[in-house]
Amino acid sequence: MGQPEVSEDCIQMYFKVKAPVTQFLGRAHLCRAQLCAPKSAENLEEFENCVTQYMKAINFARGEPRYHFLVYNASVLYWQMVRPFLKPGYRHCLIPSLSQIVNVLSQTEEEDKEWRAELMLELLECYVQAGRREEAARFCSTAAPFIKAHVPQKYRQVFSMMVRHELMDELQLKEDMKNSISLSVAFYINMLKAKQEQNDLPEDVSVILRKAYTHLGRFNHRRSPSLREEKMLLLFELARFSLTLKCTEISSDCLSDLKKMESVVSGLMTLLAGGAGATHRASGRKAKEGKAGTMVFQFCTCPFLFTFTVATGPQWPQLFLAPTLRAA
């Protein structure tokens, strides 16, 4: 109704009287949390006060199965509140509260496993950005098997993070990628990203990228729309990273493959039709490569296009929508 003052008065009156301990106590804490939500990531005191109210609701509801819907609702409202903090330099603020929420959702055996997986991925990203690698590795030991078993379509995201930040034994990672083309490609890309961040890129980087591209060539995307989408995402990611490493020929090949695939981005690929040809023609001439090729690829890798069409893993802020709240 857009009248927070009235809501605040009602909540204060509710807590002044000794009301019976029912679900409405948990609901009152959720209302109070929403009323004191921070307006920006700079308001850390407001953030802590808000989190306190969410945790009061969660701790009240966690022990009573009939109130578990309040735990779920608290996690959804909490996630909506923390969106301003999902940027570098602020994610560490979420670790204490988000780790508790993930744990409670596990203890209450929350049935929405995809939601739990999303929050697990976000918590893992928080650990990594905060430089808490050991905690990230320990968390992976439980989060990765859960996601692999219950939300397999998201396993490539956690696999990519484990490779890039060396959170899992390499032998285990290679065992995972044995029978998976998508994981093999993710391994090559993220292994090179890790080397790039350490200023230790191998001399045969173009050979490794070409190997990843060859693997994608064996990816049969015609079996289902989800496989087609996955291949497209991998092609986009490989094209973008190859460009970063100045392997424009591989980037061009990836875009050519995307143009051939029947997909919802056919309109976007049409926009690239002229430029892609220019890139091929310029690939053998260094003087023109810097102009024609780079111009096309800069368009292909602009933040808007990739944020809109590609979920390249947790290196970018996740833009998934929170689910709807549940009734009692």
Contact 105, 116 (CB under 8 A): yes
C-alpha distances in angstroms, 159 versus 45, 163, 165, 167, 202?
Answer: 35, 6, 10, 9, 22
Report pLDDT for 114: 96
Contact 172, 324 (CB under 8 A): no
d(CA 309, CA 299): 13
d(CA 229, CA 10): 49
Q: What is the H or E stretch that residue 95 is in?
A: helix 95-107
d(CA 33, CA 76): 12
Report pLDDT for 3: 72
Per-residue pLDDT of the chain (328 residues; tens, 9 = 90+): 567 778 888 888 888 887 788 899 999 999 999 999 998 999 999 999 999 999 999 999 999 999 999 999 999 999 999 999 999 999 999 999 999 999 999 999 999 999 999 999 999 999 999 999 999 999 999 999 999 999 999 999 999 999 999 999 888 898 999 889 999 999 999 999 999 999 999 999 999 999 999 999 998 888 888 888 999 999 999 999 999 999 999 999 999 999 888 544 454 445 444 444 433 433 343 333 343 333 333 334 333 334 334 333 333 344 566 788 888 7
H helices of 108-154, where? 113-129, 133-150
d(CA 296, CA 279): 7
Number of CB atoms found within 10 A of residue 107's CB: 12
Burial environment of residue 270 by CB neighbours within 10 A (0 to 12, 13 to 18, 19 or more)? exposed
DSSP 178-223: TT-HHHHHHHHHHHHHHHHHTT---TTHHHHHHHHHHHHHT--GGG
Q: What is the H or E stretch that residue 51 is in?
A: helix 44-61
Place of tokens 């670790």: 95
Report pLDDT for 261: 84
The answer, as to whether pTM is greater than 0.85, is no
Residue-range domain boundaries for the chain: 179-319
Closest CA to 220 of 171, 182, 189: 182
